[in-house]
């Protein structure tokens, strides 16, 4: 069974004055705000002194006025999860939860993160880089066949992601993804079940397997659908689960991630993991995966929030 180290902090006063950073201006704003409400409730119940900041301008003013001792970062996407806020806080000497500049920036960039995984022989789907141009479509289909997945290279929460079943759908899917950033990646669809490995400190949490009646685990399935099914325990043999947890932690480490996060992968019919991405500030809503995995080993939501806050130490 997964076991976590004992907490290092017992008195909420030891955290000082905490800024809970949410919202921002990315396409993942609403997910961040929803999770922020849940985290704020946990901090309040645990007696942590905190204030909520929507985006960075007011946060920076509060830091300069010496009203903030540390930041609980739950701002997703560009600006919050890509190394920008981590770099600013590093220069201001304010500790922040989760990964630092390198781990955040590299994990957010799907192109460069996949290059690193490939270099280290960590299995990830082959891909093509493209943009809002139709002339790439025929070459990509010739290389990979169908189905395909088309994704913005620098965004999460499955925003702007399409599953392409027919050749004529590819140009529109590329155009949609390009609306969220200039760089787009196209990958072949890998047959298998989708799994998620939460990471807390140096500990991989129990794996979660999902089932959805939708074409894939898209934004609707993640945040709104009541038809998505979550399995934790995931139904794997213990030895296989332990191997996959170790591989997930290796992918997490390869991208320089730290503190807490989530590693997503497809398990194919030969029990090989194909790593999709590393998330350095996963969702914390009532549909979110890391809280579900933590609960499976007796760590309730409030305790999980506390332990994530400890990663700022």
Q: Give the active site residue among 162, 264, 307, 312.
A: 264
Q: What is the DSSP letter of 6?
A: P
- Residue 1 class from Cβ within 10 Å (0-12 exposed, 13-18 middle, 19+ buried)? exposed
- How many Cβ atoms sit within 10 Å of the Cβ of residue 71? 26
Q: Give the active site residue among 53, 283, 288, 307.
A: 283
List all residues 6 or more positions away from 142 whose beta carbon is below 8 Å from its beta carbon: none
Q: Give the active site residue among 279, 288, 307, 312.
A: 279
Q: Give the active site residue among 180, 277, 288, 310.
A: 277
- How many Cβ atoms sit within 10 Å of the Cβ of residue 227? 11
Q: What is the DSSP letter of 256?
A: T
Report the distance separating Cα 49 and Cα 15, nearest Å. Answer: 8
**277 assigned to active site:** yes
Q: What is the DSSP letter of 259?
A: S
Report the distance separating Cα 129 and Cα 151, nearest Å. Answer: 10
**100 three-state secondary structure:** coil
Q: Give the active site residue among 98, 223, 261, 288.
A: 223
Q: Give the active site residue among 29, 70, 262, 307.
A: 262
- What are the tokens at 44? 């309040």
Write the DSSP string, 172-236: HHHHHHHTT-S-EEEEE---SEEEEEEEETTEEPPPEEEE-SSSSS-HHHHHT-S--EEESS-S-
**53 assigned to active site:** no
Q: Give the active site residue among 73, 99, 157, 288.
A: 157
For β-strands 229-231 and 148-152, DSSP reports them as unpaired
**264 assigned to active site:** yes
Q: Give the active site residue among 26, 28, 162, 261.
A: 28
**223 assigned to active site:** yes
**28 assigned to active site:** yes
> Which residues form the catalytic set?
28, 157, 223, 262, 264, 277, 279, 283
């Amino acid at each position: 069974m997964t076991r976590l180290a004992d907490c290092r902090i017992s008195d909420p006063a030891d955290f000082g004055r905490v800024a809970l950073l949410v919202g921002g201006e990315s396409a993942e704003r609403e997910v961040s705000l929803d999770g922020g409400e849940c985290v704020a409730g946990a901090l309040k119940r645990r007696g942590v002194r905190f204030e909520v900041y929507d985006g960075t301008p007011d946060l920076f003013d509060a830091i300069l006025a010496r009203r903030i001792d540390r930041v609980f970062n739950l701002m997703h996407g560009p600006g919050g999860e890509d190394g920008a806020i981590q770099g600013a806080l590093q220069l201001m000497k304010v500790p922040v939860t989760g990964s630092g500049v390198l781990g955040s920036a590299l994990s957010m960039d799907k192109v460069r993160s996949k290059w690193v995984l490939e270099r280290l022989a960590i299995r990830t789907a082959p891909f093509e880089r493209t943009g809002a141009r139709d002339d790439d479509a025929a070459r990509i289909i010739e290389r990979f066949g169908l189905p395909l997945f088309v994704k913005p290279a620098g965004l999460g929460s499955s925003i702007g992601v399409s599953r392409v079943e027919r050749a004529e759908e590819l140009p529109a899917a590329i155009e949609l993804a390009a609306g969220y950033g200039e760089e787009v990646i196209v990958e072949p669809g890998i047959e298998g079940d989708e799994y998620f490995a939460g990471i807390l400190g140096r500990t991989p949490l129990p794996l979660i397997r999902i089932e959805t009646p939708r074409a894939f685990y898209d934004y609707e399935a993640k945040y709104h659908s009541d038809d998505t099914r979550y399995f934790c325990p995931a139904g794997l043999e213990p030895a296989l689960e332990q191997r996959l947890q170790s591989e997930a932690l290796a992918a997490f480490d390869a991208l320089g991630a730290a503190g807490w996060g989530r590693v997503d992968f497809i398990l194919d019919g030969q029990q090989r993991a194909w790593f999709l991405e590393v998330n350095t500030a996963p969702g914390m809503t009532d549909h979110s995966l890391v809280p579900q995995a933590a609960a499976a080993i007796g760590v309730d939501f409030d305790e999980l929030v506390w332990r994530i806050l400890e990663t700022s130490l």
